[in-house]
Amino acid sequence: MHPMLTIAVRAARAAGQTIMRAYTELDRVEVSAKGINDFVTSVDKEAEAAITYQIRKSYPDHTIVGEEKGENRGENKDYIWIVDPLDGTNNFVRGIPHFAVSIALQYKGKTEVAVVYDPVREELFTAIRGKGAKLNDFRIRVTNVNELAPTIIGTGFPFKARQHTETYMAIFGEVFGHCSDLRRTGSAALDLAYVAAGRLDGFFEIGLKPWDIAAGDLLCREAGGTVTDFTGGHNYLISGNIVAGSPKVTTELVKTMRPLLNEGLKR
């Protein structure tokens, strides 16, 4: 195993243990608002600290960018760890058993290692650039679908970017008219992992952050998928607007969505 993947897995499992201990005593979890419709718990912070500890033990000079503590700059700026300690916080707080730890490592701007860990199901999704993607050590691939008609597509509502609600609902309606069904589960990291594993045929969402996307992006691409922004470009880590799926599904989704985009979603 890639030595940095070993550390990423160790960090993800440590965070998962922290999360699951708290999940058995949800009434003790402290919840506070970071912004409108944006919540953080004491568990998010503890899980991020567990991840940072594991990374710093082996790579004390690397930079870590986490959802909760922002950028923890190290001397070596070529290596950047992008961390979401608990993707699906709202699910976690409500006792809905669907959330994950997401960790990606970038070297000079390219994502080299990715881990998405579901501690409820003990499912570990991993990828190394150029080496493929795995679920619990078994190779995974995106589905081989040539059209939208039989597909199940994952999505997420723009609850932090409600200025796009009208456009999003138009896109939702158009995609729903072309596919078999749509799913909204509450964890973008797991949605992307599910696309990589062939459980979903595609996925689209507005306004995500790099820590939501970075690991799932590499998982999808290493599983044979295509990841783009809403116009078919590659600006999704900056814009947060992402489309992922098998190559033909991604192409069909972009083609379906493009005529409905407002100016804010074309960037």
Indicate if 36 and 116 belong to the same structural domain. Answer: yes
Sign of CA dihedral 226, 232, 233, 234: negative
pLDDT digits (tens, 9 = 90+) for 171-203: 999 999 999 999 999 999 999 999 999 999 999
Q: What pLDDT score does 152 carry?
A: 98
Give a yes or no: residue 143 inside a domain: no
Binding residues for Mg(2+): 67, 84, 86-87, 212
Indicate if 154 and 71 belong to the same structural domain. Answer: no
Indicate if 14 and 95 belong to the same structural domain. Answer: yes
148-to-50, 246, 260 alpha-carbon distances in Å: 41, 11, 17
Binding residues: 67, 84, 86-87, 212
Sign of CA dihedral 4, 60, 104, 122: positive
**Euclidean distance between CA atoms 228 and 245, whole angstroms:** 9
**Euclidean distance between CA atoms 192 and 244, whole angstroms:** 7
Confidence of residue 49 (pLDDT cuts 50, 70, 90): very high
Give a yes or no: residue 223 inside a domain: yes
Indicate if 129 and 13 belong to the same structural domain. Answer: yes
pLDDT digits (tens, 9 = 90+) for 218-258: 999 999 999 999 999 999 999 899 999 999 999 999 999 99
Provide the domain count of the chain: 2
Give a yes or no: residue 266 inside a domain: no
Instruction: Decide which of 137, 162, 182 is a domain's last residue.
Output: 137
Instruction: Decide which of 90, 107, 137 is a domain's last residue.
Output: 137
Domain, as residue range, for 185 = 150-258
Indicate if 160 and 245 belong to the same structural domain. Answer: yes
Q: Is the pLDDT of residue 264 over 90?
A: no
Q: In this structure, are residues 72 and 65 in contact, taking their beta carbons and an 8 Å threshold? A: yes
CATH number at residue 234: 3.40.190.80
Indicate if 154 and 110 belong to the same structural domain. Answer: no
Indicate if 126 and 155 belong to the same structural domain. Answer: no
CATH number at residue 62: 3.30.540.10
What would the two tokens of residue 258 be?
Answer: 């493009």
